[in-house]
Structure formats: C-alpha cells, structure tokens
Chain A
Amino acid sequence: MKKRTLIYEKSSPGRKGYTLPACRMSEDEILGSIPAEFHRETDAKLPEVTEGEAMRHFVALSVKNHHIDKGFYPLGSCTMKYNPKLNDVAAAMPGFASHHPMAPCSTAPGSLLLMWELSALLAEISGLPSVSLQPVAGAQGEFAGLLVMRAYHLKRGEKRDRIIIPDSAHGTNPASVTSIGFTSVQIESNEHGVVAPEAVAAVIDENVAGMMLTNPNTLGIFETHVKEIAEIVHARGGLMYMDGANLNANMGIFRPGDVGFDIMHFNLHKTFSTPHGGGGPGGGALGVTAELDRFQPLPVLEKDGDGKLFFNYDRPDSIGRLHSFYGNFANMVRAHAYIRTLGGEGLRRASEIAVLNANYLKTLIREDYEVPYDGPCMHEFVASGSRQKKLGVRTLDISKRLLDFGVHSPTNYFPLIVPEALMIEPTETESKETLDDFAEIMKQIAREARENPELVTSAPHTTPVRRLDEVTAARTLDVCYKGDE
C-alpha cells in the first residue's frame, strides 16, 4: 500500500464521516447573521475522510506511540502509574463532562462538592489544611507556592529573595525561583545523597525567603533531616516548600505538614493516576498551612452561611488568578475517583508496594549496573551507565535499545549529580513478572554492551523512526501542515 502518513494525505474532496440534516437557513441568511469581518475568505483546509479512515488513522498513531496502556514506562520522577479506566468513567459522567464552566455556582453543586472533597482529601494526605486545586501543572504549583511565599514575606514587611535548593532538585525548582525574580542558592547533598542540616545552616540568613526540598529526593532517598532543617529555616523567618513530585512514596506514611513543611504542590497526574505525559492537562494542586491560606490563588471555594459552596473572589491578600476558570476539572474528578476507590488503607498500600517494587528492581539491576547511592530506596532509584560507558556504550544508547524491547526509557542524565544517570521508577501498578522481564532486558543490554556494542549504539532498530535529529527538532520545530506547497 502507498505510504500516506498524515491524515491530510488520506484526504479526498467531498469525503466525510457525518450526515447532517438540511440547514433551515440559506447561505446568504447565515452569512448575513455573522459580522462580515468574521467571514472566512479561504477554505479551512480540513482533512476530508470517512469515520473509518479517521479511526484507522488515530488507532495506527496510538500503536506507534508508547503509552502506559501499551507497555512498561519506568520514567523516574514521573510516576507513570496505570490510570484506572474507572476514573475516566467518572469524568465522562454527563453531570461533570457537560457542565459549562461559566454556569452559575448554584447549578453546579455536585461539581463544587467534588472539588471541596478533593481539597479535603489532599489536605488529609499532606497535613496541610488549605488546598487550592487551581494550578494545572507541577511547575505552576511551584510558581504559585513561591508567589504565596513572597506575598507572606511582603505582608510582614520583609523583602526576601533567596531560595535554598539542593543540587538533587528537579530543574523546575530553580526555574520557578528565577521566574518570580528570586535567586537560587544551591547546596550540595552529602555522601548519603541527602541534605545535611549543616549545609542549610551554612547559607541561611535573613534574606532567605525559604527552602525547596523534594522528599523523597530525586535519588529516591528519603530526606531524614527535614525536621531539623525546617527548624533552621523557620528560626530565621523562612518557609519550607515541598516539591510533591515524589509523593507516591509517602501516602498514608509521611505527611509533609507534620514535619515543618509550610507549602507543597501535589501532582494529580503522578500520584493520583490522572493522565500524564505529552504536555497534556495536569493538576498541580497547592497545599499550604492555615496561616498562609489568605494568600491562596483566586477563586477560593468556600461555604456560605447556609453551607452552600461558592467561589470567593474577595480575598485581598490573594496572589490572584493563575488559570482560566478553576483548573483542570476533569482531572480533579479522576483524582477524586482514585482516592475514594483506594481509601486511606489502599493509598498506603499503593505507596508501600511502589517502594517495594523499586527496591526489588534495584536489587536485580545492580548486578549489571552501578547504583551510586546504594542504600534502601523509596519509590525510585538511580542507576548509572558508567560501567557500560567504559565500553563505548552510553546511557543514551541503553535507553534507545530499550525501545526495541517495547519498554519506555527511564529518565536519562538526571539527577545531574549522578553521571550517566538512569532514574528508574516502576510504580506500584507493575507485577513482579513485569519487573523480572525488565531486569532481564537490562541484563541482556549489559551483555550486548560487552559483546556487541554496535548493536546498542545503533539502536533503536524496530521503532517507526530511528534516532531523531534532536538538535534540529529543538531549534526549528515544524509541526504545522502547510498543504501541498
């Protein structure tokens, strides 16, 4: 068959997948009812295909793509857990899916109640009593959290602008700090891969607005000195921010609010199984202490005197709006469904199995790969391709070779403090058999690196496209179809 890749190349004039009843208005009447400046002068150039062709096109694309419904996805720090379909059933219920975001609150008690409950559930999980669901990504949650931090200090008449960040932090942390005009102060992790209180004490002063810490950190190691560190930061008037990207290790076990964190963001699309990846809609809910509640972004869901829920826009100390409407509502439904399905015991069990799976996999992988910080890990661990690199096979090559086995690559070259890093997070939703299979594949690739390195360095061999020109893709990205030009 002739190769037609784009749906535009499958298009044929007049072909369609719909049948509409005849319009009661004439073309002139329609045009007359729309102001002339909105009239289209050229054709929209939409692809014209039958419903069957459209289905085949998108199903074929979904098969070429890698996704959690198709294969193992051990992408560290991203928590690519399976997304239960029950979540989607809930989100598709007409009462949720068909509700217009501009409809008055009085017509949406069910949707508002769901948001109210989800905030309360996240507050219980985190130990931080005030939760805003508005941020739509982890990075936006960080941004909002830092704005809250700034507003808190300004309200007290203090202009602080330094944020302490360990060298194992997600890159979004210093990026968020820079985005709001603060400055990052980087401190080094110690030989055990955690932040020592002394390192914080060495840089703390009255210009420090706060500290950002991820727990467990990006090495998959639990930061054991949080309480001490929080005391040091609080004593000098700073606030503690927890990057919640790795919350999947903590549910029902460790509550950030109990040990001195003042602000944190949740990633609904990681920990709470809402869809994730490809830049799709996320959820970066923001939890803060009661003292910081007044700064939460607008609008804030509140109950009036009669117990009716409404959006309060009259909050003068708020950092303001972050997003249109109220965040990504459908994902709130999914997260709510997930939390209510598992319940408290179930969430704790999910975290325990996530940690167990990571430790089991680490034990298998370390036979063939270096594991630089080799203590017990939490939900993820960081291996290194340094042994293979001496054979001329780099972590990038190992990752490309994994694609040939239908496995998504682990996170590469991050955290930066581990050379040739392979950051592996299996999540709780994978079976022992899947973990064994993955370890066997990793073993085979290590063997290939010794015996036939060319096979690995020229991988992938079985994917629809081989190695991409990432430089050109990054610099001159061209994703717009321009017709036959």
Chain B
Amino acid sequence: MNIPTELKYTKEHEWIKLDGTTATVGITDWAQGELGDIVFVELPEVGDKIERTKPFGTIEAVKAVSDLFAPLSGEVVEINAALEDDPMVINRDAFGDGWMVRIECSDLSELDQLLDSAGYESIING
C-alpha cells in the first residue's frame, strides 16, 4: 500500500501536503484505485472560501460520483487545471501530478484533526 509518511490524511481519503500555511490537497492512491477510471473532476475556483468537512468539489469515476470534502478551511489559491483535460492523471499519479487544489489555511489548529500515515492506514485496513 502506497501511503507516503510525509503527508497528512483524512478519513475521506484525501492527502494534504503542508508548506507553511499552504496546503496541497489530492485524493489517495487507495481512493483512486477504489474509484476506478476517473472521468471528471469538478473543482472550486481560485478565491473560493472552503470550509473543513464541507464538500468543495466532486469526482466522477466510471463507477460512481463522489463529493470531495475539504480537509481544512481556507481560501483556494490554485487549482490543478490539467485535471480538466486529463482527469486520469489522478489514477496514474494520485500523490503527485494528480493534486487538486492549493488552500491558504485560515485556521492552523485544524491541522490537529488530520491523520498521519499510520492513522490513515488503519482506516483503510479497518
């Protein structure tokens, strides 16, 4: 199972990479495997405010459509525009080129709510 130790996670199968107060967010390799071929990703716009645990986008796979839940509150500062033309990059490289949004975090205390890799692994083995 590919669960990089340097990342943080949510039980909704997102990964978070912190750089100062900026968080890069994507879905985990396990999640992309469960979803199967990803057809479409709907992301917020730059400047949108998002709120932790609330949906901020949707991801559509051949099997099903799922909401994307915000792992942290803050403002969207960048989105991965490449996903519009080629959403399957998430299937190929979930932890790298398949990133979805960058968020400027508004409440760093929320970081305590995130899981480390061991915590996330215990959830998917649940």
Q: Which residues of A contact B (CB under 8 A)?
A: 396, 412-414, 416, 470-471, 474-475
A396 touches B40 (CB 8 A): no
Partner of A475 from B36, B39, B63, B64 at Cβ < 8 Å = B39
B91 to chain A, nearest CB (A): 9
From B39, B64, B87, A413 is in contact (CB under 8 Å) with B64
> What is the bound-complex CA distance between A396 and B87, given in angstroms?
20
Is B87 within 8 A of A471, CB to CB?
yes
**6 interchain pairs, CB-CB under 8 A:** A413-B63, A470-B39, A470-B62, A471-B37, A474-B39, A475-B39
**B23 contacts the other chain (CB 8 A):** no
Return chain B residues, CB-CB under 8 Å to A416.
64
- Contact B39 A396, beta carbon cutoff 8 Å: no
Closest residue on chain B to residue A416 by CB atoms = B64
| Separation of A414 and B62 alpha carbons in the complex (Å) | 12
When distances are taken between beta carbons in the complex, the residues of chain B under 8 Å from A474 are 39-40, 62
B interface with A by C-beta (< 8 Å): 36-40, 62-64, 87-88
Q: Are B63 and A412 in contact (CB under 8 A)?
A: yes
Q: Is the CB of B36 within 8 A of A396?
A: yes
| Docked-complex contact A471 and B64, CB < 8 angstroms | no
Residue of A nearest to B65 (CB): A171
Task: Find out whether the CB atom of B39 lies under 8 angstroms from the CB atom of A471.
Answer: yes
Query: Does A471 contact B63, Cβ atoms closer than 8 Å?
Result: no
Q: How distant is B27 from chain A, measured CB to nearest CB, in Å?
A: 16
In the complex, A460→B62 CA distance in Å?
Answer: 18
The distance in angstroms between the C-alpha atoms of A71 and B87, with both chains bound, is 36
Cβ contacts under 8 Å, A471 to chain B: 37-39, 62, 87-88
Residues of A within 8 A of B36 (CB): 396
- State A414–B61 Cα separation when bound (angstroms): 13
With A412-B63, A471-B87, A474-B39 known, 9 other A-B pairs at CB within 8 A are: A396-B36, A413-B63, A416-B64, A470-B37, A470-B62, A471-B39, A471-B62, A474-B40, A474-B62
Contacts of A396 in B (CB 8 A): 36
Please give me the residue from chain A that is nearest to B87 by CB atom: A471
A391–B34 CA distance with the chains assembled, in angstroms: 15
Q: Which residue of B lies closest to A475 (CB)?
A: B39
5 interchain residue pairs of minimum CB distance? A413-B63, A474-B39, A470-B62, A471-B37, A471-B39
- On whether the beta carbons of B40 and A475 are closer than 8 Å, the reply is yes
Closest to B33 in A: A394
With a cutoff of 8 Å between Cβ atoms, the chain B residues found around residue A413 in the complex are 63-64
- Docked pose: A381 CA to B92 CA in angstroms: 34
